Structure 1
Amino acid sequence: LSHHHQLLAFVSLLETNKPYLVNCVRVPALQALLLFSRSLDTSADCARLVADGWLEVTVPDADLALRLLSAALQLRSAWEKLLHQLLEYRGEEPGHHRPSPRDVAALTRGLLEFLRTEGTELKPDEVKGGHRVTDFLTYNCLTDTDLYSECLRSFWTCPHCHLHMPFTPLERVCHESACRPHEAPPAEAPESPSRGSALHRSYRCDVCQRDFTFTPTEILRHKKQHR
């Protein structure tokens, strides 16, 4: 991967006598393909990817490719969720609310929510081969000359639950997407001592046969009640 591998993105299309691309900007090629491709096909180790059925990308570092792919899955899922919320809100459907600024800010900052994969079943793709992970990602449909690449595992430590064991690339993506860090309970604020706590002392009233914690002034007031 290199910063020289870039694509050209644009914000809007201005149509006059000729179409013009407005607000063009260079973007990293691999990240842009992972985020915006309608179809992604990968090899077993995710080092080879084909975007939209025609553009092939080879990543020398398979571990880096797997990390980027996992992050793209989480980002696209969170992005799609917020877009659905916004469309439902603008459609003025009852019971729908505007996306919270907190979620929008989290997506903007790149703090991605983990992809929920519990209960999902990987179905084989009858056309391409491999397994369909999402509607845009097909895992292990690109054939390799290595016959053992699909079953090879490498040790990896989960950054959230610290599980250390051998994973295949697909098992690692599924585990990292499903494993969510446990949220620490909010710290309880220490109770601030009340004013004059040093003046309070135990007091037993012989008249009403009860125990109190009073200041000297409160003791005098209590004694006056029995006069």
Structure 2
Amino acid sequence: MSMGRMDNKPASDSPRVDESPKTDHAYDGIEEFDNPLPGWWKWLFVATIVFSPFYYLYYHGGTPGRSIEEGYGVALAANTRLQFEEIGELQPDATTLVNYMEKDNWMRVGKIVFQTHCVSCHGREGEGKVGPNLTDEHYKNVKTIEDIAHVVNNGAAAGAMPKWSNRLHPNEVVLVSSYVATMRGKMLEGPRGAEGNVIAPWPEATAESETTTENDSNKE
């Protein structure tokens, strides 16, 4: 009885390891097989190189609103809005507006609201574009700080400045109004000249506000 191979394929047809192609590299008698990467892997690597400049320009090319830091700011502001229950519904009076100007954590929310809805008219930093410059000392529709919230809520200039009371949470109106108030005096240059009249300075923050601000900072 024969104990030979069970198939009819000659043993000599089986691939031998030492017949695989080799490179010219050899180290201490160790030879290196020539096993190139698959073509799809090489092209994927080439594609990442081609893609990388566009990725860099999009996210790191200086375009406002696309950086990781600003993305974090948006997420942080969204999370802060969830804390509105903590402060209740804010009233757009002078005391509240001035006090919240001193609260950095809530001003982040105001900043994001402004950068989300207001930059097309007033510029990213409030320097003015279609709408007036918000960083100088001249105001067209504002005589007191609470007038800022009134304009945000109800609009102005026969609809050129739209009303936002039907699109923003009341607290967002207060916070964005306080944020706009913090822009005053930065004197950024914009395409429009000074418009309106110089008005009295904003009221001072109350002692209660300063204590609350310090407590808020300790929570962060």
The TM-score normalised by the length of structure 1 is: 0.24
* Larger RCO of the pair (alpha carbons < 8 Å, separation 6+): 2
The structure carrying a bigger strand percent of its residues is 1
- The normalised TM-score by structure 2 is 0.25
Q: Greater Rg, structure 1 or structure 2?
A: 2
